[in-house]
Amino acid sequence: MDCVSFYDVLDDYFFSKTLRDATEWSYKKVLRSFLIFAGENIPPEGVDDKLVLNWRRHVINEEGLTRITWNNKLTHMRAIFNFAIAEGYVSHKKNPFNGKVARPDVKRKKTLTDEQIKKIYLLMEAREADELIGMIEIRKSALRPAWFWLTVLDALRRTGMRQNQLLHIRLCDVNLTHNWINLRPEGAKNHREHLVPITRHLRPRLERLYNRSIELGAKMEDQLFNLSRFDGRKIETSANMDHPPLRAFFRRLSNECGFVVSPHRFRHTIATNLMSLPERNLKMAQDLLGHSTPAVTLQYVQSDINKVRSLLEQIDAA
Catalytic residues: 162, 189, 264, 267, 291, 300
Q: Position 263: which residue type?
A: P
Cα separation, 29 vs 244, whole angstroms: 15
**Residue 2 phi, psi (nearest 5):** -60, -25
Cα separation, 12 vs 89, whole angstroms: 11
Q: H helices within the chain, ranges in order?
A: 6-16, 21-38, 49-57, 67-86, 114-132, 146-159, 163-167, 203-215, 243-257, 263-276, 282-289, 294-298, 305-317
DSSP-assigned states of every residue in 6-54? HHHHHHHHHHHS---HHHHHHHHHHHHHHHHHH-TT--GGG--HHHHHH
